[in-house]
Amino acid sequence: MQYVWDPFVRIFHWSLVVAFTVAFYTHASEWDRLIHVQAGYAAGVLLLARIIWGLTKTGYACFCSFPFDPKQAIKHIYHVLKGNAKRYIGHNPAGSLVIYAMLVTGLTAVGSGWLVYNEGWLIDQPEFLQTLHQYSTWGWLALVIMHVLGVITESILHKDNLILAMITGCKRVTRKGEKQARQKIA
């Protein structure tokens, strides 16, 4: 077993799952408006903390360990569809793109929601802000679904339990993976 996900990353991940779920579930209810707003603020704080963590930490939590590389992501998806995708200890290239997209879309959803809730503040375009908030939130949901489907696909393809790995922080490592892990951390 290889220790991959530090406690911050795991706590962040599951806290964001809860914050997003609560905010999404309460989005249409005037009765639950404050719960929706507080869950949105929590999601925003979590996203900002994760960005800081990704810029300052080492190992698999560091953004440098899973670069933004669309060309490699397309190649990885092609190999997944062929059934012979390379196994990664951290994020694979396609997962990396989804993570970055979720961070940007999530911040857009939270920021636009904050502006809508605070009546535009400096931007006097309420219809635009509401539309931006709605579309970015639904886009974020689509990315979450892609993320979950990717986790399930990779778990089946590589016979890993990636959900358990995000709970325990440890991931099964093959001999080839051990060499990769040593090189990545060095």
DSSP code, position 72: H
Retrieve residue 160's tokens: 């890993």
Look up tokens 């998806």; give the residue.
Answer: 77
How many angstroms separate the CA atoms of 149 and 162, rounded?
A: 12
pLDDT at 128 over 80: yes
Map tokens 């962040």 to a residue.
Answer: 12
| Residue 19 CA, distance from chain mean position | 13
- Which residue spans within the chain are E strands per DSSP? 2-3, 170-171
Confidence of residue 25 (pLDDT cuts 50, 70, 90): very high
pLDDT tier at 167, thresholds 50, 70, 90: very high
The 3-class SS string of 34-70 reads HHHHHHHHHHHHHHHHHHHHHHHCCHHHCHHHCCCCH
Whole-structure pTM value: 0.86
More confident residue, 182 or 68: 68
Between helix 126-158 and helix 93-117 the angle, nearest 10°, is: 150
Dump pLDDT digits (tens) for 133-151: 999 999 999 999 999 999 9
Query: What number of CA atoms fall less than 13 Å from residue 76's CA on the CB side?
Result: 20
Look at residue 171 and tell me whether its pLDDT is greater than 60: yes
Q: Can you give the pLDDT at residue 40?
A: 95
User: Is 26's pLDDT higher than 60?
Assistant: yes
Residue 12 has pLDDT above 50, yes or no: yes
The candidate with the shortest Cα–Cα distance to 23, out of 6, 8, 3, 40, is 40
Distance between first and last Cα of the chain: 18
Residue-range domains of the chain with CATH: 2-185 (1.20.950.20)
Residue 97 and residue 68 in contact, taking contact as beta carbons nearer than 8 Å: yes
In sequence order, the β-bridge partners of residue 171 are 2
Assess whether pLDDT exceeds 60 at residue 179. Answer: no
Q: What is the mean pLDDT of residues 54-77?
A: 92
Q: How confident is the model at residue 27 (pLDDT cuts 50, 70, 90)?
A: confident
Q: In Å, how far from its chain's centre is CA 160? A: 19
Query: Helix axis angle, 70-82 relative to 93-117, nearest 10°?
Result: 120
